[in-house]
Chain A
Amino acid sequence: MYIGIDIGSTNAKIACIDRDENIKILLMKKTGFNSKITAKSLLLDAKKKFDESDNIIVATGYGRVSVDFANKTVTEISCHAKGACKIFDKDNLVIIDIGGQDTKIIDVENKTVKDFIMNDKCSAGTGRFLDVMSKTMELTIDEMCKIAEFGGGVKISSLCTVFAESEVISLIGRSEKKENIANAIVMSIVDKVATQTKRIDYKNKTVCLTGGLSEINFIKNALCESLNTDVLADSTGKFAGSIGAALYAKELEAKNEKFT
């Protein structure tokens, strides 16, 4: 079995594929404090579902180095590119991945990374931003995004998470409607991500959304509108990194680099 493990800042994911690149297993759990233990337990859970001892493992994600039993590590950028090409069955893609602590826009040509943009160390425009804001709103991220659809008319101007939070607090203080504040929060992230995407020539390519937020329709639709193009999403989108890593594991065997 070819196994990809993606240790993200919030969630850890595992993907197992067979010789014919059929996706056999996809599992996810919270990364928690110890990414090494999380990775091991994910592997154990996966192994309950198949009996094969000959496995090749590639680790990715920000915690990739802690997966010390992996045969190789590959960055999440390369893995996402590969995984998304598989999920959406395309060779050329522009991938928008809104992750827990960073957002990546990846330009893929012929299934390989041509260019990418990643936000710097600040958390504006990442999942972290939504996380902080939803706590202030006393909602879950899902709930916040759902009610955002019914709001509008309010804007948050600060890009910085800390300043934006105080804007939200003052909106709450002014008894602005929850829906409107939620809308302002979600739109602020959509605007930021759309601006980043516009630095890449996406017009003649398929744009897709991966990562934890890809199943939130409101975000997807708002991105469609802002970029003026279709944006694809898929329920396996959040596994793109781990699927890509599993595909790298298969390549590894082909290159016979298994034990490097």
Chain B
Amino acid sequence: MAVDYRQMWKELDMDLENHDNLCNVLPVAYTDIYLMQKNRPKAMEFWDTVVGAIHGIRPAELIEAQKKGQKVFGTFCVYVPDEIIIALNGIVTGLCGGSQFWVPDGEKVLPKSMCPLVKASVGARLSRTCPFFRIADMYVGETTCDGKKKAYEILGKDVPMYIMDVPQMKRPEDIVKWAKEISLFANKVEEVTGNKLTIEKLNEAIKIVNDKRRAIKRVYEARKNLDVPISGKDALLMMQIAFFDDPIRCAEMCNKLADELEERIKNGVSVFEKGAKRILITGTPMAIPNWKLHHIVESLGAAVVCEEMCTGTRYFENEVKENCASLEEAYLELAKRYMKNNCACFTPNDGRIDDIKRLAREYKADGVIDVNLKFCTIYDTEGYFVEKELKAAGIKCLGIETDYDDGDSEQLKTRIEAFIEML
């Protein structure tokens, strides 16, 4: 690594010794899982660099921005509207923990029977081994699943925390309620940043985030092609980094990647062998560096062509109406867009089943894997409908429950390989 970030980490009051342990495992995993892939798009170099110094480059930028008076908001859910924060000259960073490394620290304060995403997120904060969790001036939580709600109470003792009250249903009055909630959030962000929200600023931010969505969408569109120009692993990485990066640069890089992929399609370039089975993955989010399932599937010769999850289509599908006339209108338009997101914390959530069926068609998937994190009751329960409805629609589906730990890899390999043989 060219730059030494130790001083910065020290100033963030991180546990340097333990952090070294984390820094030692990541490059090995990344080399095995990512760099060994053949024929990767050249544009992926950007993401390689970002991951290569994941606790360096972007954190340094955030600290620089803080010195100039900007505030950093850490979020855990795609329901929290980035637009509000960006419009008020704040910076958003995703904070979901995707590594087993943090789970034991989370388990010090949380029950064992909680999903690894929550445990890792809490562990990342309490173990002081993730700069993003240190840098954020404020965490923004939301009332989605029970595990997160309770975990926010614990995190709130350690860091300023604001909670958005996400509705549980999707009736018209719930959308109105969410618009109100967004306006309250705007007040809070105004207070923290000391800036005043104007419709001009908000319209600008809406445009920035829409541009980002469109750029990511272009990459996904390329994956619909029969010759798949990018591995599922690389696409997932691009998606995961989108939660951390500056939105304008993110759009620029994704567009560059999309240019290359479109060129590849013209030239019939595929990163998979002819006849590789196409897999759509649906379920709970895959926070960086959770690449476990993609790696297993693609090591078995199949191609992951789409992710119906929050680290996937739910992040970029649906845009917010641009050029709103008033803040009130903009809040409502934001609410409408965000409430189109089909998360299992809503009841009912039939929209998600329709999404999966539609995406399976659009991406020409041969089969669907419904993968849920252990102890995620809502997605696990919804899996019943996912499997049932897909089977009824003639789409082959495999349900899997797993966590961050690698202990079940061999079993998963057999199950997934048998599933691929079955397609």
A and B physically associate: yes
Q: Inside 8 A of B410's CB, which chain A residues have their CB? A: 62
Give A105-122 interface residues, CB cut-off 8 Å to B. 112-116, 118, 120-121
Bound-state Cα–Cα, A75 to B391, Å: 22
Give B133-170 interface residues, CB cut-off 8 Å to A. none
Q: Are A75 and B411 in contact, with the CB atoms below 8 A? A: no
Bound-state Cα–Cα, A121 to B415, Å: 12
- Please pick, from B401, B407, B414, B421, the residue contacting A113 in the complex, using a CB distance under 8 A: B421
Residue of A nearest to B405 (CB): A121
Scan A76-114; emit 1 where CB is below 8 A from any B CB, else 0: 111000000000000000000000001000000000111
Bound-state Cα–Cα, A114 to B367, Å: 12
Scan A136-151; emit 1 where CB is below 8 A from any B CB, else 0: 0000000000000000
Q: Inside 8 A of B393's CB, which chain A residues have their CB? A: none
B interface majority secondary structure: helix
Q: Are B418 and A121 in contact, with the CB atoms below 8 A? A: no
Bound-state Cα–Cα, A81 to B348, Å: 37
- Please pick, from B391, B407, B411, B418, the residue contacting A78 in the complex, using a CB distance under 8 A: B418
The 10 closest A-B pairs by CB, nearest first: A77-B418, A75-B418, A121-B408, A113-B422, A78-B421, A75-B417, A75-B414, A118-B415, A121-B411, A78-B418
A74 within 8 A of partner (CB): yes
Query: Which size class do B's interface residues fall under?
Result: 10 to 19
Q: Are B411 and A77 in contact, with the CB atoms below 8 A? A: no
How many positions in chain A have a CB within 8 Å of any CB in the partner chain? 15
Bound-state Cα–Cα, A165 to B109, Å: 29
Taking the nearest CB of chain B, how far is it from the CB of A260, in angstroms?
11
Q: Inside 8 A of A62's CB, which chain B residues have their CB? A: 410, 414
Q: Are A78 and B415 in contact, with the CB atoms below 8 A? A: no
Bound-state Cα–Cα, A102 to B415, Å: 11
Q: Report if A112-B422 is in contact (Cβ < 8 Å); known contacts: A62-B414, A75-B417, A77-B414.
A: yes
A-B contact pairs, 23 of them (CB 8 A): A62-B414, A75-B414, A76-B414, A76-B418, A77-B415, A77-B418, A77-B422, A78-B418, A78-B422, A102-B411, A113-B418, A113-B422, A114-B422, A115-B391, A115-B422, A116-B415, A116-B422, A118-B411, A120-B401, A120-B408, A120-B411, A121-B407, A121-B411
Bound-state Cα–Cα, A116 to B407, Å: 21
Scan B385-423; emit 1 where CB is below 8 A from any A CB, else 0: 000000100000000010000011011001101100110
Q: Inside 8 A of A114's CB, which chain B residues have their CB? A: 422
Bound-state Cα–Cα, A113 to B401, Å: 21
Looking at A74, A116, A118, A121, the one whose CB has the most chain B CB atoms below 10 A away is: A121
Q: Inside 8 A of B411's CB, which chain A residues have their CB? A: 102, 118, 120-121
Looking at B410, B417, B418, the one whose CB has the most chain A CB atoms below 10 A away is: B418
Bound-state Cα–Cα, A62 to B421, Å: 16
Bound-state Cα–Cα, A75 to B416, Å: 9
Q: A75-B418, A75-B421, A120-B401 are in contact. List 20 more A-B contacts (CB 8 A).
A: A62-B410, A62-B414, A74-B421, A75-B417, A76-B418, A77-B414, A77-B415, A77-B418, A77-B422, A78-B418, A112-B422, A113-B418, A115-B391, A115-B422, A116-B415, A116-B418, A116-B422, A118-B411, A121-B408, A121-B411
Bound-state Cα–Cα, A112 to B391, Å: 16
**Which of A's residues lie within 8 Å of B, judged by CB?**
62, 74-78, 102, 112-116, 118, 120-121
Q: Inside 8 A of B422's CB, which chain A residues have their CB? A: 77-78, 112-116
Residue of A nearest to B417 (CB): A75
**Which of B's residues lie within 8 Å of A, judged by CB?**
391, 401, 407-408, 410-411, 414-415, 417-418, 421-422
Bound-state Cα–Cα, A74 to B417, Å: 8
Bound-state Cα–Cα, A78 to B421, Å: 7
Bound-state Cα–Cα, A118 to B422, Å: 15
Bound-state Cα–Cα, A112 to B421, Å: 10
Bound-state Cα–Cα, A114 to B396, Å: 9
Residue of B nearest to A112 (CB): B422
Taking the nearest CB of chain B, how far is it from the CB of A257, in angstroms?
13
Bound-state Cα–Cα, A76 to B415, Å: 9
Taking the nearest CB of chain B, how far is it from the CB of A100, in angstroms?
13
Residue of A nearest to B391 (CB): A115
Residue of A nearest to B413 (CB): A75
Q: Inside 8 A of B407's CB, which chain A residues have their CB? A: 121
Q: Report if A77-B401 is in contact (Cβ < 8 Å); known contacts: A118-B415, A120-B411.
A: no
Taking the nearest CB of chain A, how far is it from the CB of B147, in angstroms?
20
Bound-state Cα–Cα, A121 to B412, Å: 9
Bound-state Cα–Cα, A114 to B417, Å: 14
Q: Inside 8 A of B417's CB, which chain A residues have their CB? A: 75
Q: Inside 8 A of B421's CB, which chain A residues have their CB? A: 74-75, 77-78, 113
Taking the nearest CB of chain A, how far is it from the CB of B55, in angstroms?
31
Bound-state Cα–Cα, A74 to B407, Å: 22
Bound-state Cα–Cα, A78 to B420, Å: 10
Residue of A nearest to B399 (CB): A117
Taking the nearest CB of chain A, how far is it from the CB of B175, in angstroms?
37
Residue of A nearest to B407 (CB): A121
Q: Inside 8 A of A102's CB, which chain B residues have their CB? A: 411
Q: Inside 8 A of A120's CB, which chain B residues have their CB? A: 401, 408, 411
Q: Inside 8 A of B415's CB, which chain A residues have their CB? A: 77, 116, 118
Q: Inside 8 A of A121's CB, which chain B residues have their CB? A: 407-408, 411
Bound-state Cα–Cα, A112 to B401, Å: 25
Bound-state Cα–Cα, A95 to B401, Å: 23
Bound-state Cα–Cα, A114 to B407, Å: 27
Bound-state Cα–Cα, A32 to B414, Å: 21
Residue of A nearest to B416 (CB): A75
Taking the nearest CB of chain B, how far is it from the CB of A247, in angstroms?
14
Taking the nearest CB of chain A, how far is it from the CB of B308, in angstroms?
21
Bound-state Cα–Cα, A102 to B417, Å: 15
